[in-house]
Every structure is written in C-alpha cells, then in structure tokens.
Amino acid sequence: MRKRILLWSAFFFCVSGCATPPQTPVLPAPEFVTATLPPTSTPVSSATSPLPTAAPAIEPVAATTTSEVNVREKPSTASLSLGALPPFTAIQVEGSEAFGYWLRILFDGGSGWVRADYVQASAEIPVLGAESGSGSGLRGAALRGVNVRSRPGRDFDSLGLLNQYDVVEILARDASGGWLQIEFPPAPDGTGWVAAEFLETGGIETLPVAVEEGQPTETDIPAEPASPAAVLPRDGDSADAPLAMFTISSVTVRSIRFQGWVSTAGGDAEDWVGFSAGMPRVRFEFLCDAQGVRAELVPATAAAFSCGAGQILEIEPNVTYLIKIASHADGAAKYEIRIAALP
C-alpha cells in the first residue's frame, strides 16, 4: 500500500513540473508611432503694441573752422553769442538751415550756430527740418545789411541792423505786405520790422496781418516795392560800422553781390561795405542806375570806380578793405557791388 502511494505522488509531480507555462501574446509593432502632446493654451495677443524702433540719429559731420568765428544761439548775428572758436578748430556739424548760410554745431554740451562760409566740412552737410518757434514757422534771410524798425515804415526808429545772410523768424506782415515783422532779440519786446524787399523768403501771403497801435490806415510802402524817395534817411552806417562785412575764400564763398541805395546830400548820401579775401587778386565790379555815384576803396589803393566800372584788384590777403559808396546824383540811386575771387 505504501509503495502505491509513492508511485502516484511521483506521477503527479512529473505532470505538474513538465507542463508548458502560459505564453503572453506578442502584438505586431505599428508602422508608425504618434506622440500625443499635452494640450496647450492658445496665446492671447497683448493689447499693448510693441514699441516703435527709434529712427537712426543723423551722424554729425566732421568739419574745421577756417577763421575765428562766433557761435550764436540762433542763425543770426543779432542773436546771443555763446562763445567763439579760433581758426582750425575741429567741430561736429549737425546740419544747416534751409538757406545754407548757417550751420548748427555741437557746442559746450549743447548746440550753436556758425556761419557756413567760415567752415570747411569733410562731407555733405544735411539740411535740418524746421524747428518749432513762437512764430509762423516761416523764415527769411537778409539779402543785404538792413535796418530793423520799431514799426513798418522807413521813418520809424531803427532798433538795429541785420547783416547779410542773417536768418530770422518771420511773425507777421503789415496790410500792404511791404513790411514783415520778425523776431529781433535786441529789441525791447524781441520783435521788429524790415522791408520785405530785403528778405529772401516766400509764402508771405499766408502770414497774419499785424495791426500796430497808432499805425496809420494808409502807408507809403506799396505792396510792390518801389524806388525809395529822393532823400533817404541816414541808415547809421560808417567806416567803423559798415552795413555789411564779407569774407571771400577760394574754398567756400568765391564771390559776393551786394545791392543798396544812396541819395542826394541831406539824406543817406553814402554807404560803407567791408570785405576781406584769402587771395591776392579779386575782380571788382560797380554797377548803378544813375551817374554821379562812385565807389572808393579804403585803405587807399588809388582805386575809385564810377558806374559800370570793372577792374582786377591787387590786394593784401586777409586784410579788411572798406568800400565807400557816395552819391552826387539827383534823387536816389541804386547800386550793386560784385567781388569775385581770382586764381
């Protein structure tokens, strides 16, 4: 009996030990796998627009002064002087005003204005846009030395002079358009009047009409500038204070032209104009519309000119000469001086 039990136990052990274990089915690999990303929120556009890119600043142009030059607050000899620069000073030019007579430079931590004919630049100088001011935005350049009057008329007090190429802000005009009100810092109220015929400008018809207290309803200055009266009031110029001063250079300003009026004795019978040149020879021409008007060069060079005369002058370079224009003609006479550099 015991033997039989042992045989059955051996049989069951063999059956259970030799049984095949269950197989885990192997699934075929897919041809591709798709990665499932976690959901993301759609970005919401910001209500604030991106800051605009700043426009590139204009690089200043390197330049050098060719002589001693005053630096002005504005492009006019009537404005405040900020200082002076000696000859051959290196400067940085920001640009020129629209007429090209003055340059704005970097000066003493800010900006100032110098005359363009005293500067030699290393590259072309850009023209600056109109600057904001207290007036109409219209500017004018003096065509010659001209008196600034307290009111629109030749008989009113002179407040001072504009030199040729001074650039001024134009504020208004009189009813005729023959006189323009300008910014003039030396005046008590900072303004004055000049005859429109002596300003290079345009668009004066858009200016407001200024009404002056006590101004006569009729004016002897017509809208179209006419020849002055036979006797002109003295304009205050002299050998010590000429109407205008010019510098002629073979590099910058090679020629100048100046126009003016003189009249019979008892009025403005003479004018004074000064010039210097950086070369030993210049061509001088003197034109006028009446006989009896003469021009004389000072210091004396034995050079006196009548109407229509032209001559090549031998001069000392960089020496200031004065031209005295005198009238012995009847009535007012218009004259023109032309000086040009020669090699």
Q: Do domains 61-121 and 138-206 have the same CATH topology?
A: yes
For residue range 102-128, what is the model confidence (pLDDT) as tens digits? 999 999 999 999 999 999 999 999 999
What single letter denotes the amino acid at residue 272?
W
Pick the CATH number of 61-121 from 2.30.30.40, 3.50.50.60, 1.25.40.20, 3.40.1190.10: 2.30.30.40
| Topology at the third CATH level for domain 244-341 | Jelly Rolls (2.60.120)
Closest among 279, 255, 266 to 336, alpha carbons compared: 255
Residue 236: predicted pLDDT: 73
275 — alpha (psi -120 to 50), left (phi > 0) or beta? beta
What single letter denotes the amino acid at residue 315?
I
How many residues are given for the chain? Answer: 343
The overall longest dimension of the chain from CA atoms, in Å, is 175
Residue 212: predicted pLDDT: 56
Residue 326: predicted pLDDT: 87
Distance of CA 5 to the CA centre of its chain: 127
Rounded distance between C-alpha atoms, residue 165 and residue 131, angstroms: 18
Instruction: Say which residues have a Cβ less than 8 Å from residue 323's Cβ, sequence separation at least 6.
Output: 272, 273, 274, 275, 295, 296, 297, 298, 337
DSSP helix/strand/coil, 16 = helix
For 101, the token pair is: 């007579």
pTM for the model stands at 0.50
Eight-state DSSP code of residue 24: P
Rounded distance between C-alpha atoms, residue 160 and residue 142, angstroms: 13
For residue range 222-235, what is the model confidence (pLDDT) as tens digits? 333 344 445 556 66
Q: What is the CATH number of domain 138-206?
A: 2.30.30.40
Domain positions in the chain are 61-121, 138-206, 244-341
Token pair 């006189």 is found at 179
Token pair 């008007």 is found at 293
Eight-state DSSP code of residue 124: P
Rounded distance between C-alpha atoms, residue 321 and residue 343, angstroms: 19
Rounded distance between C-alpha atoms, residue 163 and residue 150, angstroms: 17
Residue 235: predicted pLDDT: 64
Check if the beta carbon of residue 194 is closer than 8 Å to that of residue 148: yes
Mean pLDDT in consecutive groups of 10 residues from the start of the chain, 343 residues = 52 48 47 42 45 59 93 93 94 94 95 94 87 66 90 90 92 90 92 92 85 44 40 69 82 79 74 88 86 80 76 87 83 85 83
